[in-house]
Structure 1
Amino acid sequence: MKPAPTSNLQPAPSHAVLTQAAEWYARLRDGSASSHETARWQAWLHAAEEHQAAWQYVEDISRGLDPLRTTVDPRQTTHALTKAHARLHTRRRVLITLAALASGGTLGLLSWRQSMLPASMLAWTADHRTPTGEQRTLTLADGTQLWLNTASALNVHFSASERRIELVQGEVFIETAHDETRPFLVETPHGRMRALGTRFNVYLNEAHTQLDVYAGAVEIRTASSAISRVVRAGQQSRFDRADITAMATAGAAREAWTQGILVADNIPLRDVVQELRRYRPGHLGVADGVAELKVYGSFPLQDTDRVLRMLASALPIRVEQPLPWWTTLESAR
């Protein structure tokens, strides 16, 4: 999880300030802090807007992770969440029907849903979804194989005329089954992809969709323009609603995750940490002084604690954890 700016004018808090906020939270959370320590914290908190933004970020993460850890009966909480999901799933089906009648087309429906409903709700009510740290393998009715990555969600729409996947959040690797009569389509808020008998990976984030093709080819068509492009095996491309980037080489990492492996080939530690955040609840940060250290190797995505130990043994860094859900990588010097 990465801190977001609190407004359009204020940047995200720095790593150093976030670390200070976490240290203060660790001192104050058990209620045993002296009046002197509380006064020092208040002085720190009100010394800068950046401090307040960092403190809010720490509190937000704490609230997000506390319920299942502190509830009297975790099974009761899980049951309540499951019932809530069932109600939302039924409601989503009603909304989809109404939207389809109003929009008059598939792309109109997708646009309506993405603009009117929060991304978190779309993910929570999706046909298939994974929580942070979990991966799933799915076999669709036509024999198509899907690998759904961590914190991901998608909907499946099959009809007599098409096979369509709507990626709501995260990442999916697809190996399509042959069907001469029905095209295989993948939609994101940025546009539509049409598989031409292929194996490919689709990774969605807020700014763009990334497509890596490993066999066959995939045609991209952007959502708000008539721009289209065919991406062939061994190629990668990114696109947003209006444009498609130039081709690059398909990355090994976007295929290796289906085997539970994070591949790092001379990439900055900052990028490795950014990828690990997707598989680890809570905060994972890296100090600016070590963020550009180059990382090589293959790491097990299902055990992020082990990955951090491996990184600390290979690089001049140490792992700091002032709170169970707050981890940072600092210089060992």
Structure 2
Amino acid sequence: MQHAADWFALLRSGDATEQDRADWRSWLAQSPEHRAAWAYAESISRRFAPVQTPENRRAAAAALTQVRQTRHGRRHLLRGIVALAGTGLLGWAGWRHSPLPELTLAWSADHHTGTGEIRDIALADGTRIWLNTASALNADYQPALRRVDLLGGEMLIETAHDARPFVATTRHGRLRALGTRFTVRLDGDTTLLAVYQGAVEVRTGQGALRIISAGSQVRFDNAQIQPTVAADPAREAWTRGVLLAADIPLKDLVAELRRYHRGHIGVAPQVAELRVLGGYPLRDPERTLAMLESVLPIRVQHTLPWWTTIDPK
């Protein structure tokens, strides 16, 4: 995909030579994967019309998208083929980093956030909810029950005192707060719960039940609840705009940073396992990348304004 982006940028720039075109045709012929990546880039470019501007009518808008595909029963994320809709490289359009079905729901949700946005929401009873990047929820307060439904993304809940029970739901099950502060995250095919105060009762869609106490976190799906582990402080730090790395691989930090960045960030396998420590600004991905480049043996490259790769220095 990186090579496809490089070739696409070159061939649409107007600077490609006959030798460049010959090399591109040779690259296409090398493997079916190359041809598939190129075909995807072309298919995206056809979906968007060029954006004409008075200053430069050759300028075109870039269109980027993220697609979830089903293959062999598992969901794979196809990240970041760049497609330029025209011959220029001057414009580009951002996109949301959420699965398309969840994004559709987000448009009509009671509360939602865009990529890189974090919101602090106060509900009618005084409960506070921090809604993370590219997330959406509905709130349903009734005389006998307080309920919020997480449609996508992540939220941190700090419940207010009220006689009515407070429950949070995802597509995998139901969480009943027992006087508490906790985070809920839809993470692929599971829900991640981390409890920081009080306790939370987890009930999966198929009825599995467990109470998770403060200082613990757990993953669950519709059928089962995985073993409980210590709560990750990073799952709370994002509410303060901090990306917390406690001796984690670089690839894991970048995976989290992608959620806040309107563009593709790739990591070369040679540096993917480098260990990272510290706190980094979530709302400024470019600054975070510069900080990482200053302390690790890596080089951050921008093939296109929206296409970033991290390689060995």
Q: TM-score, normalised by structure 1?
A: 0.76
Q: 1:307 aligns with which of 288, 302, 313?
A: 288
Q: 2:30 aligns to what SS in structure 1?
A: coil
Look up the equivalent residue of 1:185 and give its one-letter code: V
| Alignment correspondent of 1:135 | 118
Bigger fraction of residues in helix = 1
Q: 1:12 corresponds to which residue?
A: none
Shift of residue 70, structure 1, vs aligned partner: 4.1
Q: How many Å separate the matches in 1 of 2:251 and 2:44?
A: 21
Amino acid across the alignment from 1:179: D
Residue 90 of structure 1 is matched in structure 2 by none
C-alpha distance in 1, partners of 2:195/2:43?
A: 37
Residues 162-198 of structure 1 show CA distances to partners (whole Å, capped at 9, x for unaligned) of 1111111100000001111x21111111111011110
- What does residue 220 of structure 1 align with? 202
The alignment partner of 1:196 has SS state of: strand
Residue of structure 2 aligned with 1:287, choices 268, 278, 281? 268
Contact persistence 1:61–1:282 (CA under 8 A): no
Q: How big is the shift at 1:21?
A: 1.6
- 1:14 corresponds to: none
Aligned partner of 2:246 in structure 1 is 265
Q: Aligned-pair distance for 1:28? A: 1.6
1:192 matched residue in structure 2: 174
State the one-letter code of the partner of 2:140: H
* Residue equivalent to 2:77: none
Per the alignment, residue 152 of structure 1 pairs with 135
**Aligned-pair CA distance for 1:19:** 2.3
1:253 counterpart residue number: 234
CA distance in 2, matches of 1:60, 1:279: 26
Q: Distance in 1 between matches of 2:190 and 2:161?
A: 28
The 1-side partners of 2:234 and 2:277 are apart by 12
Distance 1:148 1:208 in 2: 18
SS in 1 for 2:189: coil
How many residue pairs align between the two structures? Answer: 268
For residue 133 of structure 1, what is the amino acid of its counterpart?
G
Q: What SS does the aligned partner of 1:185 have?
A: strand
Write the distance in 2 (CA, Å) between the matches of 1:59 and 1:260. Answer: 37
AA partner of residue 178 (structure 1): H
Q: Is the 8 A contact 1:143 1:177 kept in 2?
A: yes
Q: Which amino acid aligns with 2:258?
A: R
**Structure 1 stretches of 4+ moved >2 Å:** 29-40, 52-64, 69-73, 117-120
| Higher strand content, 1 or 2 | 2
Check 1:319–1:59 CA distance in 2 against 1; reply closer, same or farther (3 A cut).
farther
Structure 1 residue 296: Cα displacement:
0.5
Tell me, yes or no, if structure 1 residue 201 matches structure 2 residue 183. Answer: yes
- Listed one character per residue, the Cα deviations across residues 227-247 of structure 1 (whole Å, up to 9, x for unaligned) are 011001000000001000111
How far the C-alpha of 1:125 sits from its partner, in A, is: 2.0
Residue of structure 2 in register with 1:25 after alignment = 8
The correspondence of residues 101-140 of structure 1 with structure 2, limited to 5 A, is 118-140=101-123
- Cα shift readout 1:258-297 (whole Å, capped 9, x = no counterpart): 0000110110001001000000012111000000000001
> Does the residue aligned with 1:198 lie in a helix, a strand or coil?
strand
Once residues 308 and 63 of structure 1 are traced to their aligned partners in structure 2, the CA distance between those partners, rounded to angstroms, is 32
What does residue 49 of structure 1 align with? Answer: 32
Aligned pairs for 1:49-68 (under 5 A) are: 49-55=32-38
2:158 paired residue among 171, 175, 181: 175
Other structure's SS at 1:197 match: strand
Hey, what's the Cα distance between the residues in 2 that align with 1:129 and 1:26? 34
| Offset at residue 60 of structure 1 (A) | 7.5
| Separation in structure 2 between the aligned mates of residue 148 and residue 60 of structure 1, nearest angstrom | 34
**Aligned CA distance change for structure 1 residues 19 and 56 (closer, same or farther; 3 Å):** same
Moved more, 213-222 or 120-129: 120-129
Aligned match for 1:317, one of 274, 298, 301: 298
Query: Would you say the 8 A contact 1:61–1:283 is kept in 2?
Result: no
Name 2:86's counterpart in structure 1. none
Q: Secondary structure at the match of 1:42?
A: helix
The amino acid across from 1:120 in the alignment is L
TM-score, scaled relative to structure 2: 0.80
Query: Equivalents in 2 of 1:171, 1:295: separation in Å?
Result: 23
1:36 to 1:122, Cα distance in 2 relative to 1, 3 A: same
Structure number with greater CO (CA < 8 Å, separation at least 6) is 1
Q: Mark the CA change 1:254 to 1:188 in structure 2 (over 3 Å): closer, same or farther.
A: same
Change (3 A) 1:282 1:330: same
CA RMSD of aligned residues (A): 2.2
**Which amino acid is the alignment partner of residue 129 of structure 2?**
L
What secondary structure, in the 3-state scheme, does the structure 1 residue paired with 2:239 have?
Answer: helix
Structure 1 letter corresponding to 2:143: A
User: Judging changes above 3 Å, is the alpha-carbon distance between structure 1 residues 205 and 32 closer, same or farther for their aligned structure 2 residues?
Assistant: same
1:58 Cα offset (Å): 5.1
